[in-house]
């Protein structure tokens, strides 16, 4: 039987700790997880836009604000 975690009763720090442990566990096995072909295609296309000067970039703080705004808008609907 697999252990279960009662996420509803965990504190935020406890949830973050579990998430960090999961990511670390996944990171250790990443070479055994195949990457889909479309990932490679996306990376090639994005590298090409950087090389030809057509890539667009957003400052990290602005990107976070935009993401937060989108999430807030979705909650309102």
Residue 5 is predicted with a pLDDT of: 86
Residue 26 makes CB contacts below 8 A (sequence gap 6+) with 33
Residue 45 tokens, joined: 């296309």
Of 30, 37, 31, the residue nearest 45 (C-alpha): 37
Of the pLDDT bands very low, low, confident and very high (cuts 50, 70, 90), residue 49 is: very high
* SS3 state at 51: helix
Of the pLDDT bands very low, low, confident and very high (cuts 50, 70, 90), residue 77 is: low
Average pLDDT score, the chain: 90
Statement: residue 6 has pLDDT above 70? yes
Of the pLDDT bands very low, low, confident and very high (cuts 50, 70, 90), residue 34 is: confident
């Amino acid at each position: 039987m697999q252990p279960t975690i009662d996420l509803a009763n965990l504190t935020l720090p406890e949830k973050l700790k579990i998430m960090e442990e999961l990511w670390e566990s996944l990171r250790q096995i990443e070479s055994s997880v195949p990457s889909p072909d479309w990932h490679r295609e996306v990376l090639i296309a994005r590298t090409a836009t950087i090389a030809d000067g057509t890539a667009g970039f957003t400052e990290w703080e602005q990107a976070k604000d935009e993401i937060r705004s989108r999430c807030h808008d979705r909650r309102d609907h």
